[in-house]
Amino acid sequence: MWRDFGACRAEAVLGDLTLQRVDAIVNAANTTLLGGGGVDGAIHRAGGPAILAACRLLNGCETGDAKFTTGGNLPARYVIHTVGPIYRDGTHGEPELLARCHRRSLRLAQELGLKSIAFPAISCGVYGYPVPAAARIAIGEVRHVLEEGSSIEIVRFVLFSQDVYDSYSRALEE
Ligand code: ADP
């Protein structure tokens, strides 16, 4: 499933983020940036110790913010680490923080002069964000940033399971 926003293509695919041949993949990290489970663990396993070594120099990352490191042994040149909100009930700033993760990651990619970036379903794993709502926020914010003007040509959402893929595809169609 894909859709063009201005000069940029946004797409949803079912797959493994760590295998993506893009300029940067986005990590759904935690505030320590020192590794975790889920997609974070998969990125560190696939990318090797250079990523953790670079993360140690960053002094963590606030929820809603983004920082970058090398991609180590990954096909992607960079990892952009962002920290999604832990979902409580949706009234504790979760939508704004989730939107900000996507905005800050795209802006960072732009500052680095990148043309392609791949996101996982940030906050949709152990952080418990209801997937259809997270998908609408993620796609909506990406669209917003791209329509403001951007050098990025491809934004790919790489989803690990069919139900999550379906939610992101539906949000892309809306
Ligand atoms: P969070 O803590 O932000 O919720 P998680 O890593 O727990 O992050 O989950 C985010 C999403 O990433 C979930 O939908 C999970 O299934 C998915 N995921 C886990 N491993 C991978 C991977 N290798 N590629 C893409 N998505 C993945």
Looking at domain 2-173, which CATH architecture does it have? 3-Layer(aba) Sandwich (3.40)
Residue 23 is among the residues annotated as catalytic for this protein? no
What would the mean pLDDT of 109-117 be, rounded to a whole number?
97
pLDDT digits (tens, 9 = 90+) for 49-108: 999 999 999 999 999 999 999 999 999 999 999 999 999 999 999 999 999 999 999 999
Q: Give residue 6's pLDDT.
A: 87
Mutate to test the pocket of ligand 1, among 160, 162, 164, 165 (most ligand atoms within 8 A of CB): 160
The residue contributing the CA closest to ligand 1 atom 1 is 123
Amino acid at 104: R
Helix (H) or strand (E) holding 116: strand 116-119
What totals of helices (H) and strands (E) does the chain contain, helices first?
Answer: 5, 7
At residue 149 the predicted structure's pLDDT band, cuts being 50, 70 and 90, is: confident
